[in-house]
């Protein structure tokens, strides 16, 4: 006779009721309770998954009850269902807007097609619905839930993350948590505890003595786990009104640690306490978790800089070898790479164009095994996505290797596809003496390349020219050189008049010297510098380089020896005022963290106004020899790393391990607490960047990356602040963050 008590078997109807309850709770958390579009996704439906012309199979897709995870069921009974998270989706595109759908489907099914594009290197999910209306419903519903998910407050996101972790630990999917599942759940959340403590925690929450946690018991469990002692200490210090924080107490806290005025205090009190003008501990935690409590100054989140200065007065977010998805030796080329860069507000993209078969110009990295993409397809993608995230001008940097006939076709495609967006003549009716502003060039596309004559030909009736020879673009010539034999003589190419005519404000010329450029070159004539040459000029002639960039544009590009598409440090180039500091956007690295941080302010529009001392003709600023001047504003930056929240698991071979966090702060488990103080002395704060990097410390091997966050020092808020964490690609890690205290002060 068995003495083991068997748990009652859960009937299908009870499971369904539990599932519906979870769906309602998560829908309510998203603000979509009873929403028809959410219910459409939860019900799911059949879609045709397309991989090739021959592989097109029906799959059933549905949103799980966590309102976050999608599952696709195969028709094969034994095949495991595949899942992906809403957090992993970069965008959803209606129509045949990916290379896969364009290649493997007929134009007649355009309205039935849509694609789910993922943030990482995961392949696009190309799908076809039964009708155009159904496809539109899928896209609109997905867009709605993605928007709601991204709009969750820090507290809501934390709760949602908690529930998602709990669901992974719920092995039998009964929406209850046994002691065994609780232990697994703790490891999912990076909490290492012994069995005795886990049992004690379980008993404390299992008030019903049922042997499982459910409903309010799980909520209590969540509250115990998310208890933050460091917040209690701060709250108790300032809560002087019957154990709560009055408006005056809050003002005292804000004035002491956050630099604020009295006026907003009442508005940030949590709702239940407004009648007594007091903030509870939960309300205080909610306030610290809001965007106003983040380290990034919310006033810099939207467009706040003067956009009416000449174009060369701005740093411009710029990409190198934009067409590449990976390395520059054998990696794939794709129009998708242009879309990804433009959606990150990149404002200068590069096109390496070569003669293709059937008279069609192609883009790829010459003399390598990288794949090829049609020039006209890249231009169409640029047309579609150029101004999705920023209205300010996009520069097409052409590296032209084509014959005259295919150059004429290039010009035709740009003119016909880009239409009125393409700048084909100078703005105004007289010869300009300076660049137009980003504001004047809103929604416009500029071409950077070789030109056969001067720009004033537009105003002197001297614009009738024939095809002619010009020296090759510096980078184009570099790619032909070998380490054994460097070409000293610049090679020539024949340039088509049609292509020459659409180069207006960005005429490529060879750089000889700063003196030669100042005396002989017009403002619209710009040079491209290989990184080695640019760094040498920055070190030896910093002030001259900066003054050169007050008059003209400069483009910096990575050395050809970077075959793995690595990047150079962009900061020294910004320090001398270089505008187009081109990086390999496809490569996640510290240099790209710095680039994202530099362009995060000002509405993430891809343009940042340079400091005044980099625009003033009388400036004597030189980053190599700091003399007295308006740039010298000595500051001391204090940073205290207090704690971390919801650090994610390291996916590679470490699902069973506990994250051991290491935080690096550079100027150039669950809720771990450090209270570690750091201090940095800074001479030119307007050019300084702050970079936080979180790693999983490993004594035997290289530390594993967890998350990062970078921003300009001028955009840092003082006081107790949350630092959100981003992944290597610059996408937000849901719920993860650091809790810090910062103070930027005048140096003593």
Of the pLDDT bands very low, low, confident and very high (cuts 50, 70, 90), residue 268 is low
Q: What is the pLDDT of residue 482?
A: 45
Domain assignment present for residue 623? The answer is no
Tell me which of 104, 160, 300, 320 is the catalytic residue: 320
CA pair distance 646, 152, nearest whole angstrom: 15
Of the pLDDT bands very low, low, confident and very high (cuts 50, 70, 90), residue 672 is low
Are 678 and 708 found together in one domain?
yes
Tell me which of 313, 365, 401, 548 is the catalytic residue: 365
Are 650 and 680 found together in one domain?
yes
* 161/251: higher pLDDT: 251
CB atoms within 10 A of CB 427: 14
Its pTM stands at 0.87
pLDDT at 261 over 70: no
Nearest Cα neighbor of 646 from 156, 291, 23 is 156
Q: Are 67 and 30 in contact (CB under 8 A)?
A: yes
Query: β-strands 125-128, 506-508: how paired?
Result: unpaired
Q: Are 589 and 566 in contact (CB under 8 A)?
A: yes
Q: What percent of the chain stands above pLDDT 70?
A: 87
Of the pLDDT bands very low, low, confident and very high (cuts 50, 70, 90), residue 2 is very low
pLDDT at 673 over 60: no
Are 556 and 575 found together in one domain?
yes
pLDDT digits (tens, 9 = 90+) for 338-386: 999 999 999 999 999 999 988 999 999 988 889 999 999 999 999 999 9
Domain assignment present for residue 200? The answer is yes
Domain assignment present for residue 419? The answer is yes
Residue where a domain stops, chosen among 564, 585, 614: 614
Burial of 534 (0-12, 13-18, 19+ CB in 10 A): buried
CA angle 609/615/621 to nearest 5° reads 115
Residue where a domain stops, chosen among 225, 248, 274: 225
- Average pLDDT along the chain: 86
Burial of 387 (0-12, 13-18, 19+ CB in 10 A): middle
Domain assignment present for residue 448? The answer is yes
Beta strands in 185-270 (DSSP E): 245-246
Annotated binding site for Ca(2+): 321, 350, 352, 399, 658, 660, 696, 698
| Domain count within the chain | 5
Burial of 34 (0-12, 13-18, 19+ CB in 10 A): exposed
CA pair distance 93, 116, nearest whole angstrom: 7
Beta strands in 276-391 (DSSP E): 278-279, 314-319, 348-354, 362-363, 373-374
Are 36 and 82 found together in one domain?
yes
Check which CATH number belongs to the domain holding 372 and give it: 3.20.20.190
Are 127 and 194 found together in one domain?
no
Check which CATH number belongs to the domain holding 244 and give it: 1.10.238.10
CB atoms within 10 A of CB 12: 7
Q: Are 682 and 635 in contact (CB under 8 A)?
A: yes
Are 221 and 233 found together in one domain?
no
Domain assignment present for residue 295? The answer is no
Q: What is the pLDDT of residue 266?
A: 46
Nearest Cα neighbor of 450 from 401, 416, 483, 394 is 401
Q: What is the pLDDT of residue 702?
A: 83
Q: Are 85 and 70 in contact (CB under 8 A)?
A: yes
Six token digits for residue 427: 């703005």
Are 522 and 392 found together in one domain?
yes
Q: Is 320 considered catalytic here?
A: yes
Q: What is the pLDDT of residue 7?
A: 44
Which residue, chain included where needed, has tokens 């959606």?
343
Of the pLDDT bands very low, low, confident and very high (cuts 50, 70, 90), residue 484 is very low
Are 184 and 146 found together in one domain?
no
Average pLDDT over residues 213-221: 77
How many CA atoms are closer than 13 Å to the CA of 383, on its beta-carbon side?
17
Annotated binding site: 49-76, 321, 350, 352, 399, 448, 450, 528, 555, 658, 660, 696, 698
Question: Where would I find the H helices in 44-178?
Answer: 99-104, 132-150, 154-169
pLDDT at 497 over 50: yes
For 569, residues 6+ apart whose C-beta sits below 8 A from its C-beta are: 591, 594, 668
Check which CATH number belongs to the domain holding 657 and give it: 2.60.40.150
CA angle 473/427/516 to nearest 5° reads 40
Q: Which residues of 332-357 are buried (b: 16+ CB within 10 A; e: fewer)?
A: bbbbbbbbbbbebbbbbbbbbbbebe
pLDDT digits (tens, 9 = 90+) for 138-152: 999 999 999 988 877
Are 438 and 576 found together in one domain?
yes
pLDDT at 258 over 70: no
Q: Are 168 and 188 in contact (CB under 8 A)?
A: yes
Domain assignment present for residue 11? The answer is no
Are 182 and 277 found together in one domain?
no
pLDDT digits (tens, 9 = 90+) for 50-86: 999 999 999 999 998 888 889 998 766 666 778 888 8
Q: What are phi and psi of 377, to 5 degrees?
A: -70, -40
Domain assignment present for residue 294? The answer is no
Q: Are 583 and 555 in contact (CB under 8 A)?
A: no
CA pair distance 60, 74, nearest whole angstrom: 7
Domain assignment present for residue 302? The answer is no
CA pair distance 29, 23, nearest whole angstrom: 10
Of the pLDDT bands very low, low, confident and very high (cuts 50, 70, 90), residue 132 is very high
Residue where a domain stops, chosen among 209, 225, 241: 225
Which residue, chain included where needed, has tokens 């290039």?
410
Are 442 and 575 found together in one domain?
yes
Residue 175: domain span: 154-225
Are 382 and 282 found together in one domain?
no
Annotated binding site for substrate: 49-76, 448, 450, 528, 555
Six token digits for residue 570: 């962009």
């Amino acid at each position: 006779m068995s003495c083991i008590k068997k748990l009652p078997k859960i009937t299908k109807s009870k499971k369904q009721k539990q599932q519906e309850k979870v769906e309602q709770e998560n829908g309510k958390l998203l603000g979509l309770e009873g929403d028809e579009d959410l219910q459409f996704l939860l019900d799911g439906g059949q879609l045709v998954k397309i991989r090739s012309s021959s592989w097109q199979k029906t799959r059933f897709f549905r949103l799980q009850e966590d309102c976050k995870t999608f599952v696709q069921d195969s028709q094969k009974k034994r095949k495991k269902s595949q899942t992906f998270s809403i957090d992993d989706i970069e965008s959803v595109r209606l129509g045949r807007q990916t290379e896969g759908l364009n290649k493997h489907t007929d134009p007649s099914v355009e309205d039935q097609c849509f694609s789910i594009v993922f943030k990482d290197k995961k392949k696009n999910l190309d799908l076809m619905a039964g009708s155009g209306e159904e496809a539109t419903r899928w896209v609109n519903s997905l867009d709605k839930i993605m928007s709601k998910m991204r709009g969750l407050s820090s507290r809501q996101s934390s709760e949602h993350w908690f529930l998602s972790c709990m669901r992974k630990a719920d092995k039998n999917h009964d929406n209850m948590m046994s002691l065994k599942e609780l232990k697994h759940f703790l490891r999912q959340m990076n909490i290492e505890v012994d069995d005795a403590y886990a049992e004690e925690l379980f008993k404390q929450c299992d008030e019903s003595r049922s042997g499982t946690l459910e409903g309010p018991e799980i909520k209590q469990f969540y509250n115990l786990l998310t208890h933050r002692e460091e917040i209690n200490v701060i709250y108790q210090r300032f809560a002087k009104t019957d154990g709560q924080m009055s408006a005056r107490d809050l003002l005292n806290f804000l004035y002491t640690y956050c630099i604020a005025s009295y006026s907003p205090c009442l508005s940030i009190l949590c709702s239940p306490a407004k009648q007594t003008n007091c903030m509870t501990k939960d309300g205080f935690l909610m306030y610290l978790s809001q965007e106003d409590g983040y380290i990034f100054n919310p006033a810099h989140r939207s467009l706040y800089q003067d956009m009416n200065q000449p174009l060369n007065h701005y740093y411009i977010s710029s990409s190198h070898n934009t067409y590449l998805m990976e390395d520059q030796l054998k990696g794939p080329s794709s129009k998708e790479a242009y879309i990804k860069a433009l959606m990150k507000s990149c404002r200068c993209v590069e096109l390496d164009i070569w003669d293709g078969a059937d008279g069609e110009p192609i883009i790829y990295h010459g003399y390598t095994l990288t794949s090829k993409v049609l020039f006209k397809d890249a231009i169409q993608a640029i047309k579609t996505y150029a101004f999705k995230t920023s209205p300010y001008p996009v520069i097409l940097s052409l590296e032209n290797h084509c014959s005259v006939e295919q150059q004429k076709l290039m010009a035709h495609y740009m003119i016909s596809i880009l239409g009125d967006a393409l700048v084909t003549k100078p703005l105004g009716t007289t010869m300009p003496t300076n660049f137009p502003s980003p504001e004047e060039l809103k929604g416009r596309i500029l071409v950077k390349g070789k030109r056969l004559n001067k720009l004033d030909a537009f105003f002197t009736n001297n614009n009738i020219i024939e095809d002619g020879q010009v020296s090759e673009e510096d980078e184009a010539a570099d790619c032909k050189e070998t380490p054994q034999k460097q070409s000293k003589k610049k090679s020539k190419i024949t340039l088509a008049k049609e292509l020459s005519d659409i180069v207006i404000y960005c005429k490529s010329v060879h750089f000889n010297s700063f003196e030669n450029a100042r005396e002989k070159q017009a403002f619209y004539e710009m040079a491209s510098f290989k990184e080695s040459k640019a760094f040498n000029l920055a070190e030896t002639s910093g002030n001259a380089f900066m003054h050169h960039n007050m008059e003209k544009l400069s483009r910096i590009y990575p050395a050809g020896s970077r075959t793995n598409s690595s990047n150079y440090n962009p900061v020294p180039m910004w320090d001398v005022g270089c505008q187009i500091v081109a990086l390999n956007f496809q490569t996640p690295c510290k240099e790209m963290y710095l680039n994202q941080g530099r362009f995060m302010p000002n509405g993430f529009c891809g343009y940042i106004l340079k400091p005044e001392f980099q625009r003033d003709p009388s400036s004597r600023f030189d980053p190599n020899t700091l003399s007295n001047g308006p740039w010298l504003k000595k500051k001391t930056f204090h940073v205290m790393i207090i704690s971390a929240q919801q650090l994610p698991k390291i996916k590679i071979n470490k699902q069973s391990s506990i994250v051991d966090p290491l935080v690096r702060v550079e100027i150039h488990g669950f809720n771990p607490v450090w209270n570690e103080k750091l201090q940095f002395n800074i001479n030119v704060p307007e050019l300084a960047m702050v970079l936080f990097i979180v790693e999983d410390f490993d004594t035997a091997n290289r530390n594993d990356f967890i998350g990062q966050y970078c921003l300009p020092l001028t955009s840092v808020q003082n006081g107790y602040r949350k630092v959100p964490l981003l992944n290597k690609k610059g996408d937000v890690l849901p719920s993860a963050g650091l809790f810090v205290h910062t103070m930027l002060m005048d140096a003593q």
